[in-house]
């Protein structure tokens, strides 16, 4: 008994007619009819996953171009700034046949399809720069998010007010007016204005007396 009976179901331009045979690797194959009238036998996984959406006529139509006045060379801009390319045969293409260009480019570099968990990252932050050298593939969304967080932390740490290690650490007076002196930069080379615990005294109008 087959686990998934695809007979009678429709996928893209394909309508499954009946079960045909099972391959040696136990993949069930199905006889389908395409909207263009062609009959084709396809693996069940390729059909149900959306990897194959036609007998091949989609690809031929794409190769011959499009006569629509809205045709823009098969490229379109996504609302989030990414570039989409017309490739209706791609398993990740939307209902209009478009897929994100960075996915297609990354898959071309890897020589395989990306799995459902993998995420493509634009190294320079430009979402429309889909050159192979500007793309990086992360195993999961979590890894991608972690990379962005580390990058944000790194930028925050690029402070311009840190002490120059080639210069001496000057002695300054506490900004609260208590008269206490201390080294301006702490052990992490960060500048200080107050003695510990005195940063709120000036705003509170309190006076610090020497012991």
Q: Check which CATH number belongs to the domain holding 88 and give it.
A: 3.90.75
Its domain, for residue 101, covers 65-156
82 found inside a domain: yes
Residue 81 CA to residue 158 CA, distance in Å, equals: 28
- Residue bearing tokens 């990306």: 114
Q: Any idea which residue has 């390729």 for tokens?
A: 46
Give the pTM: 0.43
Is 5 part of any domain? no
For residue 196, is it within any domain? yes
Give the list of residues 6+ apart from residue 122 with CB closer than 8 angstroms, or none.
102, 129, 130, 134, 135
With respect to residue 91, please indicate whether it lies within any of the assigned structural domains: yes
Class of residue 199 by CB neighbours under 10 A (exposed 0-12, middle 13-18, buried 19+) = middle
* 2 part of a folded domain: no
pLDDT in tens, the chain (211 residues): 455 788 889 988 889 999 999 988 788 999 998 877 788 899 998 888 888 888 877 665 554 455 544 455 677 778 788 988 888 888 888 877 788 999 989 998 888 999 989 999 998 889 989 998 899 999 999 888 888 777 655 555 556 777 787 788 999 999 888 889 999 988 777 888 888 888 765 555 555 454 4
Residue 104 domain-assigned? yes
What span, in angstroms and rounded, lies between the C-alpha atoms of 96 and 58? 12
């Amino acid at each position: 008994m087959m686990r998934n009976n695809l007979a009678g179901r429709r996928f893209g331009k394909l309508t499954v007619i009946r079960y045909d045979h099972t391959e040696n690797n136990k993949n069930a194959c199905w006889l389908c009819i395409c909207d263009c009238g062609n009959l084709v036998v396809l693996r069940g996984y390729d059909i149900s996953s959306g990897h194959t959406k036609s007998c091949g006529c989609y690809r031929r139509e794409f190769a011959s171009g499009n006569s629509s006045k809205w045709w823009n060379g098969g490229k379109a801009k996504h609302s989030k700034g990414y570039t989409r390319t017309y490739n209706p045969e791609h398993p990740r293409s939307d209902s209009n046949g478009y897929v994100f260009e960075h996915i297609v480019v990354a898959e071309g570099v890897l020589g395989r399809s990306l799995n459902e968990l993998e995420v493509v990252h634009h190294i320079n932050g430009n979402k429309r720069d889909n050159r192979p050298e500007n793309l990086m593939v992360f195993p999961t969304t979590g890894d991608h998010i972690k990379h962005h967080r580390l990058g944000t932390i790194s930028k925050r740490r690029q402070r311009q007010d840190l002490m120059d290690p080639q210069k001496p650490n000057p002695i300054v007076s506490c900004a609260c007016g208590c008269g206490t002196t201390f080294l301006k930069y702490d052990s992490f080379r960060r500048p200080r204005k107050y003695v510990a615990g005195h940063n709120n005294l000036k705003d509170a109008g309190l006076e610090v007396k020497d012991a």
